[in-house]
Amino acid sequence: MRQATDLPRLLRALSACTALLLTGCAALDPHAVITRRMGSQPDTSPAATSPADKLDAATRLAAFDYVWRTVDERYYDPKMNGVDWKAAGAKWRPLVLDAPDDDAFWDRLDRMAGEMRDVHTRVVSPKRARLVERSQAVNLGFAFRPLGEALVVTSVNTESDAWWAGVRPGMTLSAVEGEPAQAVFARLRAQARDGSTEQQRNTLAATRLLAGEPDSTASLAFQRADGSLLQATLRRTLLTSPPRVTHRRLPGGPGYIRLTAWNAGLQGRMIEAITALQDAPSLIIDLRGNGGGSGGMVHAVARQFFEGEVPAGRVLTRTGKPITLAFELVELVKLEPVLKGAGLYKGPIAILMDPGSASASEKFAGLMQSHKRATVVGQVSCGCLLGFMGYASVPGGGKLAYSEVGYVLPDGRRIEGTGVVPDLPVPPTAEDLRLNRDRALEAAVAHLLQHPPKTPR
């Protein structure tokens, strides 16, 4: 989860840092927050969008040293999550520096970061960084995950070759390039970087199969419910999925809000959606597949559901002190944040979660669950709840994120490595996917109908 900062305070600190640049900015910006934020805007220049020159040996060495040293010095946990980081560096140094090409170089550098068993500590290649900045991805156009012994298709992008070839949710991925899909998936899991949880590592392995270069192809076989096979050669294409928020009134009265990412630019629209549904007898907030975003937006939205001051848990940092700027005059991250309730919506709430719900989504759901303000419905979430203050630029054009903040919920739970456990579990089935039946939404509606508001609305 990207930890948000207060923009006016950040600008004031930036002004002070500029004025005192000759005296050294390290005391003003000890965590390099300003410099990372200044460099976080997408670069659309021709040089940024064209393929980079091949990395030379000196640049590779500088990139490796920067990543290893930065994590060593700045990771939020002084015990390094129980990892022998020096041994990890010694293990990966020759493998990274001797990578056969630049793609392998960035992949191996990221796999070294994966030794921390923390998905927020990661290295992003220049290619991948440009896609992330534009909310884009290159893939085969469908998603799948293990369900029991099968690899089941969970969604298909209607703009992709996969859709027009006839691939549909509920089908089973049975073969990849003529090889049993389960064997391919097991190999990709072994090759994937480590992460926060097993469910998150499954996601990383699936990404290795689905992603690739634009216009590259894969020959796949899918099994339908009747046992028949669909053979298809699918092309990887550039797909755009901008973050969005939508809302509506469901039949029977409950309000429904779907948020796909905690993007700070959507904060106002999210609050507008809550306002539009504030007279609904109950509210469902759908965070399935929402991989997170701004921690500041989480607090801004959560406060709409409380009155008075509400503890938001506890923050863990490497030093045990708040994260500050300008000689500790500006406190960016408080150790014990408090929500000042706005009381916009007071009715019962259900939150939909699945393994794709991560980071900021887990912070929101966990916070609401801790205060018994909402019922969590669906599946165990990613278990990926740490925070970083922005990407750092790595020599050679890549980006580095490293966890600077840990979280403890108001009820004392840690979500990192475990996930938000639903109050009302609703496991998915291939049959429901084939029928396009949303059993989790059905369960949430039924639960809210059985628990009406305590006072007339």
With beta carbons less than 8 A apart as the criterion, state whether 274 and 304 touch. Answer: yes
Distances (CA, A) of 74 to 2, 110, 392, 410: 16, 17, 12, 25
With beta carbons less than 8 A apart as the criterion, state whether 292 and 1 touch. Answer: yes
End-of-domain residue from the set 98, 133, 168: 133
Instruction: Please give the distance of CA 73 from its chain centroid, rounded to a whole number.
Output: 24
Report d(CA 360, CA 317) in Å as an integer: 17
Residue 326 forms part of a structural domain: no
Q: What's the CA dihedral at 14, 16, 22, 28 to 10 degrees?
A: -70
Tell me the residue type at 267: Q
Specify whether 290 is located in the same domain as 306: yes
Q: What is the pLDDT of residues 224-274, one digit of tens each?
A: 999 999 999 999 999 888 999 999 999 989 999 999 999 999 999 999 999
Residue 106 forms part of a structural domain: yes
Which residues have CB under 8 Å from 398's CB, separation 6+? 63, 106, 109, 123, 124, 125, 126, 129
Specify whether 254 is located in the same domain as 216: no
Above 60 in pLDDT, residue 28?
no
End-of-domain residue from the set 107, 133, 159: 133
Summarize the confidence of residues 298-303 as an average pLDDT.
Answer: 97
Above 60 in pLDDT, residue 39?
no
Residue 255 forms part of a structural domain: yes
Specify whether 90 is located in the same domain as 128: yes
End-of-domain residue from the set 211, 240, 269: 240
Q: What is the pLDDT of residues 308-332, one digit of tens each?
A: 999 999 999 999 999 877 545 567 8
Tell me the residue type at 308: G
Specify whether 281 is located in the same domain as 347: yes
pLDDT of 33: 63
The rounded mean pLDDT for the chain is 89
pLDDT of 46: 36
Specify whether 231 is located in the same domain as 251: no
Summarize the confidence of residues 129-154 as an average pLDDT.
Answer: 92
Most confident of 2-16, 35-49, 385-399: 385-399
92-106, 160-174, 190-204, 362-376: least confident range: 190-204
pLDDT of 456: 41
Report d(CA 307, CA 26) in Å as an integer: 40
Above 70 in pLDDT, residue 434?
yes
Q: Which of 313, 300, 341 is nearest to 405 (CA)?
A: 313
Q: Which range marks the domain in which residue 82 is found?
A: 7-133
Above 70 in pLDDT, residue 422?
yes
At 104 the three-state DSSP class reads helix
pLDDT of 6: 52
In the block, tokens 């022998």 appear at: 84
With beta carbons less than 8 A apart as the criterion, state whether 44 and 343 touch. Answer: no
Specify whether 234 is located in the same domain as 251: no
